[in-house]
Amino acid sequence: PFDAAKRTLYLAVRHQQVPLDVVVEADALAGDLKTYRLLYLTDQNVSRACSKAIADWVEAGGRLFATSGAGMFDEFNRPNDIMRRLLGVEQRRSLDVPTEPVRLEKQDLPFAQAIDQVTFETAIGNVQMPVINVRSRFELAAVGDAGPVVQGRFRDGAPAVSVRTVGKGQAIYCGFLPGLSYFKPAIPLRPIDRGTTDDSMAHFIPTEFDRGASALIGLPAASVERPVVCSEPLVETTVIRAKQGMVISLVNWSGRPVKALSLKLSIPSVPATKPRLASGGTVIRADDGFTFDLDVADALILQ
């Protein structure tokens, strides 16, 4: 289920209106983590050298979010004491993994039964979310004065989400796969037909995502300033810069046209000339952004 968990987590992070890159171990070892504020870690095996780079980055102010089993073992499949100490957790046994995992989201996720439920604490109260396919049975580790704090629990009261302050940064461990939890209510229980009609399941766009999982996935990004904020959070944006100007691509995942979409920018040196849409639509410019209608996709061109 881990491939599907990565894909769903990717979209869940993008729905937080956070720009996202794919980072590999070579980037961490080259010191490139210093250009990032957040890191979502999903792989179970992380080399000790890379783990040390991540730990130093968190100490200096980075925010780490690790999903079930992430970083628990090193490149030789030995227990990774660097990552376990950073996260403040100890995995005592193998992950709970089903014999029939979710491999393809639309095909498998609607038929997957929740194996547990997590209650997660937020500023506006507790929220619940389903646990799909994988559960990590972990304990909080003794790591000095700044130990982890439990912010979410499984149904049996065991820790599900822990948060630890490390230096100027933060390390969050999530003992399940939040991307699958996020997508679970959004995909209906329908056969996965691969037809060419608009109403086929192959063309279905999920929109009714789990709000609790959304709050959890957005936790490390709570205080991060977004370069672009849309009035409709299911519009995905990407900023592309060149010497000729700037393009902001827009992909509408809301399942319907968006009237009077508002874009607010926190980007330095935005070109001051008249903006235009690749579709030829009308753009209204304001002091802090732009307003226009969006169909399936478009691009805002600033030169």
Residue 145: predicted pLDDT: 67
Q: How far apart are CA 71 and CA 87, in angstroms?
A: 9
pLDDT above 90 for 2: no
Furthest-apart CA atoms within the chain: distance in Å: 60
Mean pLDDT (the chain) is: 92
Q: Where are the domains of the chain?
A: 2-221, 228-302
Contact 88, 139 (CB under 8 A): no
**Both tokens of residue 92?**
């005592």
Using H for helix, E for strand and C for coil, what is the string for the chain?
A: CHHHHHHHHHHHHHCCCCCCCCCCHHHHHCCHHHHCCEEEECCCECCHHHHHHHHHHHHCCCEEEECCCCCCECCCCCECHHHHHHHCEEECCCCECCCCCCCCHHHHHHHCCEEEEEEEEECCEEEEEEEECCECCEEECCCCCCCCEEEEEECCCCEEEEEEEECCEEEEEECECHHHHHHHHHCCCCCCCCCCCCCCHHHCCCCCCCHHHHHHHCHHHCCCCCCEEECCCCEEEEEEEECCEEEEEEEECCCCCEEEEEEEECCCCCCCCCCEECCCCCCEEECCEEEEEECCEEEEEEC
Q: Which residue has the tokens 């691009």?
A: 299
Report the pLDDT averaged over residues 5-20.
Answer: 94
In CATH, the number for domain 228-302 is 2.60.40
State percent of the chain over pLDDT 70: 99
Residue 282: predicted pLDDT: 94
Q: Which CATH superfamily is domain 2-221 in?
A: Class I glutamine amidotransferase (GATase) domain (3.40.50.880)
Residue 74: predicted pLDDT: 95
pLDDT 10s digits, 241-296? 988 889 999 999 998 999 999 999 988 877 777 899 999 999 998 877 899 999 99
Q: How far apart are CA 192 and CA 110, in angstroms?
A: 10
Q: Which residue has the tokens 């070892």?
A: 29
pLDDT 10s digits, 196-247? 888 888 888 999 999 999 999 999 998 899 999 999 999 999 999 988 889 9
